[in-house]
Amino acid sequence: MNARTPVTRPKVDLSFVLTPILEIPNVQHAMVVTADGFFEAHSGLDGETAEKLSAVLASLLASSRGTSHTYFGGRSLLRLVMVETYEGYVFVIPAAENTYLAVFTGPNVAMDNVSYEMQKQVQTLGKAMGSPPRSDLGGSSVRGDGLPA
């Protein structure tokens, strides 16, 4: 039997994408996650929590895409998934291809500030990941749900 070394792609330091978001009052954490349930970066969560959140977010995104496609039709683009609880909010938006930006906040966050900064950082993230930005923000080869156009 031949032992194989797992192939891993080098991680890019994405802290410059997360830092501006984390400066918004009441933002607790931010993550860059992939559609298949892995994280590319996070803002200091412990490893086990980051892994669990990545998997849960992938499930949430798949369910959201399925809901959108079923109700609005297959061409509907996913732009935002938001979870509201008494403890705060979770915002997730498509970023680079098959990549999403997630932000976790307290209940008293200025949602408009979070949304604005996330949109700005999606542009930066697309460049850093080597993938075009979301199509509804000016790119043309990636749909808003992270799938190729």
**128, 138 in Cβ contact below 8 A?**
no
Q: In this structure, what are the phi and psi dihedrals at residue 79, rounded to the nearest 5 degrees?
A: -110, -35
Q: Give me the mean pLDDT over the 72-85 stretch.
A: 90
Contacts of 129 (CB under 8 A, 6+ apart): 12, 40, 95, 96, 97, 99
pLDDT tens, residue by residue, 40-77: 999 989 999 999 999 999 999 999 999 999 999 878 88
Q: What is the pLDDT of residue 2?
A: 41
**16, 124 in Cβ contact below 8 A?**
yes
Cα of 122 vs its chain's centroid, Å: 9
Summary mean pLDDT of the chain: 83
Q: What is the pLDDT of residue 144?
A: 47
Among 3-7, 17-21, 31-35, 121-125, the minimum mean pLDDT is found in 3-7
Report the amino acid identity of residue 15.
Answer: S
114: tokens are 């979070």
Over 60: is that where the pLDDT of 131 sits? no
d(C-alpha 86, C-alpha 20), whole Å: 25
Residue with tokens 């070394």: 5
Over 70: is that where the pLDDT of 26 sits? yes
**45, 33 in Cβ contact below 8 A?**
no
Whole-structure pTM value: 0.79
